[in-house]
C-alpha cells in the first residue's frame, strides 16, 4: 500500500481555476488537471522567482518533492498548450494559509484565515450574498458530505462474533 501524501502548504487558492483556448467551448475540450500544489510551485518558482529550496521550505515539503511537482506541472502545462487542451486547477493534499472569496456582483476579492469553518456570507464592498468560496471551488476543503462519507470504513458497523 503506498504511503499517503503529506499535506502541502499553499498560501491561498488561485483566483481562477480554468484556462482554455479561445473560441472553443469548454465542454468540447479535453481537460488537464493541475493540482493546487502544482499551481503553487509554478507560482513560487516560475512567477515569484524563488529557488526550489526556498519554495519547498515555504510549502513545507522536501526540495526533491518540489522538483517532482514542478516537473509534473511543467509537463501538464506543455501538454495543454501544445494539444489545445483546457487546464483545470483543483484538488490535492493541501493546507491553505488563507482562503479567498470573490463577489459575483462586483468582482471584489478578499481573504480570510485558512479555517474551513469560516464562511463569509456577504461581500464587504457591495453587501451582495453572491459570494464564491475559492478554497471550496478548487477542492482545497472537503464538502460536508465528503467529510461524512470518509467515516471509519466498512468495519465500523460490523457486528462482533
* 75 and 136 inside one domain: no
Asked whether residue 18 falls in the same domain as residue 71, the answer is yes
Tell me how far apart the alpha carbons of residues 95 and 77 are, in angstroms, rounded to a whole number.
23
Number of domains the chain is built from:
2
What are the tens digits of pLDDT across the range 142-159?
544 444 554 544 444 444
**DSSP of 105-150:** TT--EEEEES-TT----S-TTT--S-EEEHHHHTTSS--HHHHHHH
The residue to which cell 471550496 is assigned = 136
79-129 tens-digit pLDDT: 999 999 999 998 777 777 767 777 888 877 777 754 544 456 788 788 888
Q: What is the largest CA-CA distance in the chain?
A: 63
Mean pLDDT of the chain: 79
Among residues 50, 71, 94, the one where a domain terminates is 94
Domain holding 44, by residue range, is 8-94
Q: Which of the listed residues 53, 78, 94 is the one where a domain comes to its end?
A: 94
If asked whether residues 26 and 87 sit together in one domain, one would say: yes
Amino acid at each position: 500500500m503506498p504511503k499517503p501524501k503529506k499535506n502541502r502548504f499553499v498560501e491561498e487558492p488561485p483566483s481562477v481555476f480554468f484556462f482554455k483556448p479561445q473560441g472553443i467551448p469548454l465542454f468540447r475540450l479535453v481537460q488537464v488537471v493541475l493540482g493546487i500544489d502544482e499551481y503553487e510551485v509554478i507560482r513560487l518558482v516560475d512567477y515569484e522567482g524563488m529557488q526550489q529550496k526556498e519554495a519547498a521550505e515555504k510549502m513545507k515539503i522536501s526540495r526533491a518533492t518540489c522538483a517532482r511537482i514542478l516537473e509534473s506541472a511543467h509537463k501538464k502545462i506543455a501538454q495543454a498548450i501544445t494539444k489545445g487542451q483546457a487546464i483545470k486547477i483543483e484538488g490535492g493534499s493541501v493546507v491553505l494559509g488563507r482562503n479567498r472569496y470573490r463577489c459575483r456582483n462586483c468582482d471584489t476579492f478578499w481573504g480570510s484565515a485558512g479555517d474551513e469553518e469560516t464562511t463569509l456570507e456577504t461581500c464587504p464592498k457591495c453587501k451582495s450574498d453572491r459570494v464564491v468560496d475559492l478554497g471550496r471551488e478548487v477542492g482545497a476543503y472537503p464538502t460536508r458530505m465528503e467529510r461524512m462519507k470518509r467515516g471509519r470504513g466498512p468495519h465500523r458497523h460490523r457486528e462482533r462474533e
